[in-house]
Amino acid sequence: MDKLKNHMPAAFLLLHVLCLCISHAAAFNISIIPFTQGFTPLFGESNLIPSQDDRSVQLHLTQYTGSGFRSSDHYNHGFFSAKIKLPSDYTAGIVVAFYTTNGDLFKKTHDELDFEFLGNIRGKAWRFQTNMYGNGSTHRGREERYHLWFDPSREFHRYSILWTTHNIIFYIDDIPIREIVRNDEMGADFPSKPMGLYATIWDASDWATSGGKYRANYKYAPFIAEFTDFALHGCATDPLEEVTATECAERDEHLARAHFATLTQKQRLAMARFRSKYIYYSYCYDTVRYPVPPSECVIDPMMRQQFKETGRPKFERRHRRFKQKGQVMRARNYGNQEEE
């Protein structure tokens, strides 16, 4: 099942169906910005290589340090997007993350939305996860894990995070893969404070690939992740302001009305097809961790059958810290699985 070739026939069928109901990425109708206009280095600056046209950037990981960048501003909700090409060859233990957070300002009450790509071994399908935290609720992480239906190291694909006052949608190209709809019971667990957009590459050998079974091998270094065609649509604001500016409230309403903020019936069908084929862990179906599913979970009886009795084959929660060249990076409180 893990072999990439075993995924391809179903993948081609899925893509054929999806192409009938969802248009090309240009349908987002988004404007892109130069790298230096919207972003600044985060760490490992010597391993951050911008292109001459200022449209793209490479993040390198060596045995000495990883690298990362962040948006120059924080945004009160927004649409955050980039085309990404992941490192090729043997990349076990290597995590490439594309995420929003305000953890630099709110150490114990931060918000966060994640795409994380979990390294790869030749011949196996790439795995990745999405997650959400609100108000520092790391002990209630809402992670999901999936297989990709393509090789993300061969060409660029667009990864997008939509965050409004009402919902959160994760996209790959034009395919919505996950939606979280806010409800009153979630309270502060739904992200509410302005966040910046971040991207990093780093060594997470202890947990990323098959629960740490396969570790980074630096004979394949440098590991290179490429980012291009950046989009930052939202209201830039001071995250320490207690009252959001009126113009941000107006732009939030405009964002919530954007065509990519409300899923059509065809998009929901595409998302359901993706999830039925490629999801292999969801916190909503983890009956050991959550005997009563969190309030935002909508349990699908068909999906329930995809998972084993407990919803997790081998599962353990880990708290780890990784240190690279003076940069301490926390492996967030994920429910890591020993993957088969």
Cβ neighbours, 10 Å, residue 57: 22
Give me the catalytic one of 112, 143, 144, 226: 112
Helix (H) or strand (E) holding 83: strand 74-85
Q: Enumerate residues 6+ apart whose C-beta is below 8 A from 177.
A: 130, 146, 170, 171, 271, 274, 275
Q: Enumerate residues 6+ apart whose C-beta is below 8 A from 293.
A: 284, 285, 299
For the residues of 287-339, what is the DSSP string, one character each? TTT-SS--TT----HHHHTTS-TTS-SSEEE--EEEEETTEEEEE-S-EEE--
- 155 given a catalytic annotation: no
Cα atoms found within 13 Å of the Cα of residue 25, Cβ hemisphere only? 16
What are the tokens at 28? 């987002």
User: What is the rounded CA–CA span in Å between residue 53 and residue 317?
Assistant: 43
What is the sign, positive or negative, of the torsion defined by CA atoms of 29, 32, 38, 39?
Answer: positive
- 116 given a catalytic annotation: yes
Where helices occur in the chain by DSSP H, the ranges are 4-21, 35-38, 246-256, 265-278, 301-304
With CA atoms as reference, report the closest residue to 103 among 128, 70, 130. Answer: 70
**What are the catalytic residues?**
112, 116
